[in-house]
Amino acid sequence: MILDLSDGTVLHELWTVQRLAYAVEAELIGFDGIPPLHESLDELRACDETFLGLYDEEGLAGAVSYRLDGSTVDICRLVVHPRAHRRGIASKLLDALPDGPQVVSTGTRNEPALALYRKRGFVETGTREVGPGVSLTDLAKQ
């Protein structure tokens, strides 16, 4: 379902899940400078991305955001609440994205994310350093 970030409750739920999810990634990659980890509610609301969310019995379990670049789906964020890890939520969210080629980036040391994307047919297209000792891996799927 599309998340309406003009709804304060939805915005706060997303912000909370995002902070929890990126805290896990920060620990995995040894870098806490991930921009969405430090984003304010106002910055999140203004990010100009389309968000899809998945709820479970306890609330928002995960979300994915994207922008369309022509027919290419640029995946901006994929976050899953730590309580909902290993339940297929990330895959369900990726399945809900629009059809077309997809691109995404994740921390090079984020092995769980890289394994998920590889399993779903993404191939690595390059890496780029974003800070001392910290790099992102770019992936694409046709």
pLDDT at 75: 98
pLDDT at 132: 83
pLDDT at 39: 95
pLDDT at 33: 87
What span, in angstroms and rounded, lies between the C-alpha atoms of 63 and 53?
4
Q: What's the token pair of residue 125?
A: 């297209």
Structural domains in the chain, sorted by start? 8-141 (3.40.630.30)
**Taking the chain (142 residues) in consecutive chunks of 10 residues, what is each chunk's mean pLDDT?**
96 97 91 90 96 97 97 97 95 97 95 96 95 91 94
pTM over the 0.85 mark: yes
Query: Closest Cα to residue 52, out of 118, 113, 98, 99?
Result: 98
- Backbone CA torsion sign across 29, 32, 33, 37: positive
Which single residue is written with the structure tokens 């990010």?
47
What span, in angstroms and rounded, lies between the C-alpha atoms of 19 and 109?
19
What span, in angstroms and rounded, lies between the C-alpha atoms of 138 and 126?
5
What span, in angstroms and rounded, lies between the C-alpha atoms of 8 and 96?
23
pLDDT at 58: 95
Residues 6+ apart with CB under 8 A from 91: 116, 120
Residues 6+ apart with CB under 8 A from 17: 60, 61, 62, 63, 79, 80, 81
**Residue 69 per-residue DSSP state:** E
pLDDT at 91: 96
Distance of CA 37 to CAs 34, 46, 58, 97, Å?
5, 15, 22, 23
